[in-house]
Structure formats: C-alpha cells, structure tokens
C-alpha cells in the first residue's frame, strides 16, 4: 500500500524529486519511464486455440467419451462408424461451449485498460502540454478539471471545489470532496483519503493541481488488475461432481474389462470373443449422452434465468447458485434503491414544511424535467435531487418556483464552509436561502440557546438512524451586495428546519433476506459506505441480527487471516473495505466449506467477484470490469433476483441429479444383464452392442433430457444448502441408483429367461429371448423415467402429464422403439424379431415393475410429503 497520503505536500514533492512550477524535464521523464515502466496495465498472455482444445481433452468425461467412440467402432467390427461419429459430435459440441465461455478474466482486464484517459495535461520543462497518459511517470505535475478522468494515482497539491466520483473504486455512492490536506493517519481507508485521487475515477466538480505518485501496475487499479491476473478460476461444485462421476466410470469400465477377461478365460472362450464381450460391457457402462444432457439442462436453466433478470455467462454457474450458502452483497443499488430520499423532516413550530422544501429545491443545482406528476426526472447531485424530488411529490415544482423566485446570485457549496447560499428576487426585495450542515448553520441563525439545543438534539436523533441530515434557513434583504461575501449572506438567518435522507432499502429485499434464512443461506453486507449507515440499513433488512458484529476495513487490516477465518461467522456487515478486504472475506467463508456468491458493481469488486464461487455483477450500474470478472449479470441490480436464481439453481441441480440417477441406473441394468449372462455362460448375449448404443444414445437420452426440464419442486427454498464437499452419491443416491439398476437388470434377465426357456424352444435360437430382453429393458427404463421425476412425491401427486417435455420424450422414444421392433428393415439392423401377443403381455408387465415398486417405496417412506 502506498502511503503518500500520510505525508505533507512538501515531503511528497521532495520524495518524488520534482518541481511544482517547472515539472520534470524530458530527459528525466525518459529515465523514469525506463525505471518505472509505462503507465499501462499488464495483460495476462492468452492461450492459443490449440492449447485450449488440448485442455478440453484433460476432462475425464471427455476421455471416457472418446474411449466410448473407439469401443463402439470396434464392437461393430470396424464397419459401423455412425454411432462413433455421434459420440464424437457430442465431444465437439461440449468443447465449443466450454471454450466460448473462457477468457472472462482477460476481458475484465481489457475493460480496465479502456478506462484510462488517452491524454493528460502535464507541466514539463516549465510548460503545460498534453501528453499520452501512458507516458506519465511518478513526479509529473498534472492539472485536472471537471469531466477529466484521473490518469494515474495522484496527490492533490491545490484544489478549488474539487469533487471526484470514486464509486467504481470505493463504493462511495456520492462524489467525494477532495482537498490538499497533510498527514492523514496510516490506517485511513481508501475512501477517506481526501488528499489523493485514484486512477480511472472521474472529476465531477472543480479543478486541481496534483503530482503523480504511482503509475501502471502500482496504482490502485493496477493492484486490482494484478489480483485478476494471479487469481485462478475456481472449479464449480458441478464440475467437481462430474469429475467424480467420470472417475467412478473409469474405474468401473476398467474393472468390468478385467473381470470379463477372467470369466472368459475360465470358460475357455477365444480371446477375440472375450475382447468383444468386454467391449460390449464397456459400451453399456458409459452413458454417452450424459455430458450433452448436463450441458443442455444448464443451457435451459440459463434461458429461464434470463426471464428473471439474470444473465449467466458460464453454464456451470447456474448450478453453483443452487449450492450457495453465503451471499456477500454490496449495499448501494443492490440492497438499496441507489437514490437518496428524504424520509424525515423537522420544522420549527412557526415554520412550514413547504418553506423547508422550497429552500431545499431552490438552493440547489439539480435539474427537473417533467411531463406530469407521475412522470418526472431529476438530474444532479444525489443529495440535491432528493430535495427536488420530495418537493415535487409535495406539489412544489422547482421550475415553477424558479419562475416565481428567480436566482440572481449565489455562493456555491464549499467543503470547508459546509454551506450553500442562493439569492432570489421577490416581489419586494430579495430572499437569501441557505442549506448545509446543521451544526454550522445553527451558528449563523438568530436563535436562543434552548431552541438551539432542541434542534441539535433532533439532529443527533436523525443522525443516530444513519440519516444524512441537512438544515435550511433564510433571511430577507432589500438589496444584493455588489460583492457577495459569506459574512453578508450567511449571518442573522432564520432557521426553518431539518431534513433526514438516506438511500432506502428496496422493498422486495427484506422478503428476499427472509427467504435466505429459510433456505439456510447467510446474507452478508460488504460495502464501501460508512459503518453507521451500513449497520442501520442491515438492521432494517434483518441482515444484522442480535449477536452480529460489524467491522471496518481498518479493523480488518490488523486482523490476521486465520483469525478472520475462525470468527467470520460473527460478522454481518463490513464497511469501508478495499478490494483485498473483500477477497479475504470471501476466502474466509470458503475456508469453512461454504459456497459463496458475491455481488458488486465497481472496479474494486472485480477481484472478489472472480474469487467467489459465483460472482454476480450489476447490469445497470456495473462497470465493464465487474461484468467481465463475474459469472452472472443482474439486469435489474436487485438482491431479490439472486435469491430467485438460487431457487432455480437448486432446481437445476436436482434435475441434473435425476438425469444422472436415471442414466446410471439404466446403465447398471445393462451391465447386470450382460455380466450375469456372461458369468452363467448363456449361449447367446441378451443384448448386442448396437442395442446398447441405441439405448444410451437415443432411448435413454430423451427422457433424461426431459427430467432436466422438470419445474422446481415446492419447498426447495425451505431446505438447507447442500454440502458442496459431499459426494453426489451420498444420502442414499448410490443405494437407490444401484437398487433400481439391479431391478431393471433383473426384469431384463427374467424376460430373457421366459423368452428362452418358457415361451419358445430353447433348442432353437430364434431371437425371441433377445428381443424380449431388449424390449423389456427399453420399456422398463421409459416407465422408470416417470418415477424419477420426484424422489419423494408420487407421480400422481405431481401430475402424470405435468411435464410436457417428458410426455413428448416418452412418446418419441416409444415410437422409435416400436419402429425397431415392427419394421422389417430395422428388425434386421437391430437383430430383433416380431413377438406374439403373450410375449408382448410379458414384456409390458415386466416393464411396469420398476414404476410400481418406486411408487410403493415413496408411499411407504414419504407418507407425510404433500404435493405442495
């Protein structure tokens, strides 16, 4: 951290070896450019497209799919390549989607670079000249005025009515007064360094002469850029779960192949035959459509979130939201309306509120444009717009007031004086209107000590509520002095009243916060605003509860990270924080195994947005830098939208789990069928390779995809967040999957046995048994899909036809399977034959067994679970 703000102006000039009148010489600038480098941000070197493609091949699921493509080709006798091409197409589509979602960090860095001003006014060789911002060096003397972008971190040497908008860097919602003061304490927060200007912020008022203290990566913006470069992207919980599934499938495939070879050797079968059986079982074990289905389900979730004002940039982030257990939110504009509003007024007994608002609206530089009383716009300083808005709501139109009482003179607001005065023409004489800090204003009014104490107490009462308090006063004069002075205009005033204003909470946020607590999610406020204001808003929204604590950035500076990690749960509000502080807070929560969502809009939020498990940038007020670093953009800048997104995320993960369980249980059924047939030395396989691929790529995939389109189940926001560290196979998932897999395999083997030994002549291999097994497996899996729609609720309670996608998937898959079983050409390709009526009755009866058992299980285990 640079400590230029702690020094006096003379010490700064001496340390930088410069001259305020002459500036630096050209030769000295060249030397310093070599020493300090150009005033530019570094950009992380981009990976080539080839490296990105190679990186995709490191994904275990992609490797498994490539193996499946090869095995499929081998199992066809190196003749049928269509199934292999389909699998490879799935791999390519997933790679394209993944690569297209990368480079967000580099985009945010590019946005940081674009924030730099192209030219700066610099004194060099004793002359004022415009130079490229990139050539600025520490020690350069620059001049700034309203509208300028600050080109580097600078120390203010002299200033006149200087204000800067630092909201993007500090979170301060209103322009900050800057002045040439010396020796601020070392622990002074970035937002309170009144003698410094931050690179890439905007001068909104006044002018200044400054000296450049830091350039390039040494600036505050540079520090943020460095954090973005050095912080690696996190893997999402879903990516971790998919890697877990890939690892398991790899082990299963390898184990199956080894086991198959052992069994084949025991039966003294030819090596080639053993290999082909192992290949068939390997194909059965791999759910080829799983990666594509997960991608599509996430993409559908993204589309649903767009309708809820959330744009998701990375597909896995949709599901990550569902695991969120902590939401760290900025205050201004997210929890609040980002609009200063007068919420309380106080007037002296003999004064009216209309006079108070009239003074506030006229002693004011804001502009009012209106079509009617319900359609108006006020532009200007947030504090001043609050006066004009309140007056307009009370039928006091500023434009009409100005026509009746035109301004003829003024003394602008000054941060030292803390007052603003205007003079207005009346029918007879003139009225001086003054507004400003109550404590200063009271000293300028004709008022007795007892009344002054009453007003001071009221001021303190409003301030204790974290309201920004301003006072208003006036006096009438006969003539306007030729030379306006504060002594003439701002003395012997008549005190009118006080107004208390605040950026009020959004109405819908309190309900959203309550939903968070119901869902086991901890909301935390992290803001650049003052501690008192932050705590007041947090209390009103119920974020700050009994027993909670609040902390400032300066207090956080002296707290070691390990202590923060131990005590982070105690704190509900962090105020006056820096980018590093925000990252530390996020990482402290993550150290406890929490999945953290972080909201922000400023450049200073970008590092925390990147390090969080899910970064949410503001779409309206957010900077390009914040949007570039985030995973999701809120188009309405609303905290409630995040809560809606969490609900969708939970539903999406639940649906993905349903799809995974359905596909894997189907695959287990296929493995059981082939393995048992091999182990018991059946004279023919119940299923052949092309039938297995048909199941995995076509028949199973459509219902699995339809499961991903299930509506969010009722009560999902009454559950605690899932533990992101817990295996996807925990909590009975694996048990259920294996049970139904064995059940599906069992009915398939029963169908085969009946077809082989009961319903046909076992001495004649006519294909009846194989066809019955194939048909039973397909229809059993299709009916099972309806049971998987809900883990706890009956298919009849949620509605058999309530998911239109499932109905369509069932009809299409059924039609395709019937075509295979009835059309002669397809019968030949898939090695099946026509069945008799009794054989069809057996197939249909066995196919309904998984659905019936699932419904009975739910009826017994979840009797208390209702449909709503």
> DSSP assignment, residue 788?
T
Using alpha carbons, select from 389, 392, 388, 383 the residue that is nearest to residue 413. 383
Q: Which of 221, 216, 209, 224 is nearest to 12 (CA)?
A: 209
Q: Say if CB 611 and CB 231 are below 8 A apart.
A: yes
Q: Given the structure tokens 């509003």, which residue do they identify?
A: 341
Which tokens is 144 given?
Answer: 């700034």
Residue of 546, 566, 538, 614 whose CA lies nearest to 325? 614
Written as six digits, the tokens of 832 are 């099946």
DSSP conformation letters of 148-200:
PBP-SEEEEEEEEEEEEE-HHHH--SSPEEE-------TT--GGG-TTEE-TT
CA distances from 226 to 106, 579, 586, 602, 611 (A): 12, 11, 18, 16, 13
User: Which one from 83, 192, 330, 631 is the annotated catalytic residue?
Assistant: 330
Contacts 24+ apart (CB under 8 A), 404-411: 405/362, 405/431, 407/362, 408/480, 409/480, 409/484, 410/484, 411/484, 411/486, 411/489, 411/490
CA distance 255 to 277: 14
Beta carbons within 10 angstroms of residue 272's beta carbon: 8
Active site residue 330: yes
For residue 128, the SS3 value is strand
SS3 146: coil
**Could you give the 3-state DSSP secondary structure of residue 363?**
coil
Would you say 817 and 811 are in contact if contact means Cβ atoms under 8 Å apart? no
Return the number of other C-beta atoms located less than 10 Å from residue 17's C-beta: 11
Region for 525 from its dihedrals, namely left if φ exceeds 0, alpha if ψ lies in -120 to 50, beta otherwise: beta
| Relative orientation angle of helices 768-787 and 733-753, to the nearest 10 degrees | 150
Where residue 17 falls (left for φ over 0; alpha for ψ -120 to 50; beta otherwise) is left
Contact 183, 8 (CB under 8 A): yes
Q: Between the CA of residue 290 and those of 245, 297, 634, 662, 774, what are the distances in Å?
A: 10, 10, 30, 10, 21
Q: Are 615 and 630 in contact (CB under 8 A)?
A: yes
Write out the two tokens for 30.
């060249």
Could you give the residue numbers annotated as active site? 330
């Amino acid at each position: 951290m640079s400590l230029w703000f702690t020094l006096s102006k003379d010490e700064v000039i001496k340390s930088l070896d410069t001259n305020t009148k002459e500036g630096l010489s050209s030769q000295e600038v060249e030397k310093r450019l070599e020493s300090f480098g150009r005033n530019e941000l570094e950009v992380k070197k981009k990976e080539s497209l080839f490296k990105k493609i190679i990186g995709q091949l490191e994904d275990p699921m992609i490797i498994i799919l490539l193996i499946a493509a090869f095995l499929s080709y081998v199992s066809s006798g190196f003749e049928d390549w269509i199934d292999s091409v389909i699998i490879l197409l799935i791999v390519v589509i997933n790679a394209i989607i993944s690569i297209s979602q990368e480079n967000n960090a580099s985009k945010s860095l590019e946005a940081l670079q674009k924030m730099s001003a192209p030219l700066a006014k610099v004194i060099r060789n004793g002359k004022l000249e415009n130079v490229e911002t990139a050539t600025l060096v520490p020690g350069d003397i620059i001049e700034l005025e309203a509208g300028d972008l600050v080109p580097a971190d600078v120390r203010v040497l002299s200033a006149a009515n200087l204000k800067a908008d630092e909201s993007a860097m500090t979170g301060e919602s209103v322009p900050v007064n800057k002045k040439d003061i010396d020796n601020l304490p070392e622990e002074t927060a970035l937002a309170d360094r009144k003698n410094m200007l931050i690179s890439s912020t905007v001068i909104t008022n006044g002018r200044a002469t400054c000296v450049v203290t830091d350039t390039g990566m040494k600036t505050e913006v540079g520090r943020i850029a460095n954090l973005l470069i050095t912080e690696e992207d996190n893997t999402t919980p879903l990516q971790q779960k998919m890697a877990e599934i890939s690892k398991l499938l790899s082990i299963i495939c390898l184990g199956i192949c080894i086991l198959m070879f052992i069994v084949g050797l025991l039966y003294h079968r030819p090596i080639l035959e053993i290999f082909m059986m192992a290949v068939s079982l390997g194909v059965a074990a791999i759910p080829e459509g799983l990666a594509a289905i997960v991608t599509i389900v996430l993409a559908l979730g993204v589309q649903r979130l767009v309708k809820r004002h959330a744009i998701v940039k990375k597909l896995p982030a949709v599901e990550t939201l569902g695991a969120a257990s902590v939401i760290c939110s900025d205050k201004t504009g997210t929890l609040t309306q980002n609009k200063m509003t007068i919420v309380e007024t106080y007037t002296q007994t003999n004064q009216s509120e209309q006079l108070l608002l009239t003074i506030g609206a006229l002693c004011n530089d804001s502009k009012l444009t209106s079509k009617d009383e319900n359609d108006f716009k006020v532009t200007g300083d947030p504090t001043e717009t609050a006066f004009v808005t309140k007056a307009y709501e009370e039928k006091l139109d500023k434009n009409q007031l100005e026509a009746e009482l035109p301004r003829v003179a003024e003394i602008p607001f000054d941060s030292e004086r803390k007052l603003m005065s205007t003079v207005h023409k009346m029918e007879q004489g003139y009225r001086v209107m003054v507004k400003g800090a109550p404590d200063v204003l009271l000293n300028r009014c004709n008022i007795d000590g007892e009344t002054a104490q009453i007003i001071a107490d009221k001021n303190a009462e409003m301030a204790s509520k974290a309201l920004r308090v301003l006072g208003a006063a006036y006096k009438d004069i006969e003539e306007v002095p030729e030379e306006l002075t504060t002594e003439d205009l701002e003395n012997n005033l008549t005190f009118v009243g006080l107004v208390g204003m605040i950026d009020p909470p959004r109405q819908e946020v309190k309900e959203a916060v309550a939903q968070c607590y119901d869902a086991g999610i901890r909301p935390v406020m992290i803001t650049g605003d003052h501690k008192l204001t932050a705590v007041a808003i947090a209390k009103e929204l119920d974020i700050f509860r009994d027993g909670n604590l609040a902390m400032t950035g300066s207090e956080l500076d002296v707290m070691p990270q390990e202590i923060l990690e131990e005590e982070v749960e105690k704190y509900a509000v962090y105020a006056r924080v820096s980018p590093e502080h925000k990252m530390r807070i996020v990482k402290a929560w993550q150290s406890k195994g929490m999945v953290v969502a972080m909201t922000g809009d400023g450049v200073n939020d970008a590092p925390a947005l990147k390090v969080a498990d899910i970064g949410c940038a503001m779409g309206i007020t957010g900077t390009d830098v914040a949007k570039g670093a985030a995973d999701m953009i809120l188009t309405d800048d609303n905290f409630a939208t995040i809560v809606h997104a969490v609900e969708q995320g939970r539903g999406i993960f639940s649906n993905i789990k349903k799809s995974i369980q359905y596909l894997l249980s189907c695959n287990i059924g296929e493995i059981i069928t082939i393995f048992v047939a091999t182990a018991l030395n059946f004279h023919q396989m119940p299923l052949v390779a092309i039938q297995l691929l048909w199941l995995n790529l076509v028949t199973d995939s459509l219902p699995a995809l339809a499961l991903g389109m299930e509506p969010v189940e009722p009560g999902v926001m009454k559950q605690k967040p899932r533990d992101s560290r817990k295996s996807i196979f925990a909590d009975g998932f694996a048990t259920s999957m294996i049970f139904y897999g064995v059940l599906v395999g069992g009915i398939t083997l029963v169908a085969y046995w009946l077809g082989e030994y009961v319903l046909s002549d076992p001495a004649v291999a006519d294909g009846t048994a194989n066809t019955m097994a194939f048909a039973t497996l397909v229809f059993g899996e299709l009916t099972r899909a309806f049971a998987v729609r809900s883990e706890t609720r009956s298919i009849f309670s949620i509605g058999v036809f309530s998911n239109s996608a499932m109905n369509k998937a069932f009809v299409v898959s059924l039609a395709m399977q019937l075509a295979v079983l009835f059309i002669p050409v397809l019968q030949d390709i898939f090695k099946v034959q026509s069945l008799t009526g009794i054989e069809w009755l057996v197939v249909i009866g066995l196919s309904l067994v998984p659905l019936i058992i699932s419904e009975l299980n739910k009826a017994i285990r979840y009797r208390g679970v209702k449909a709503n």
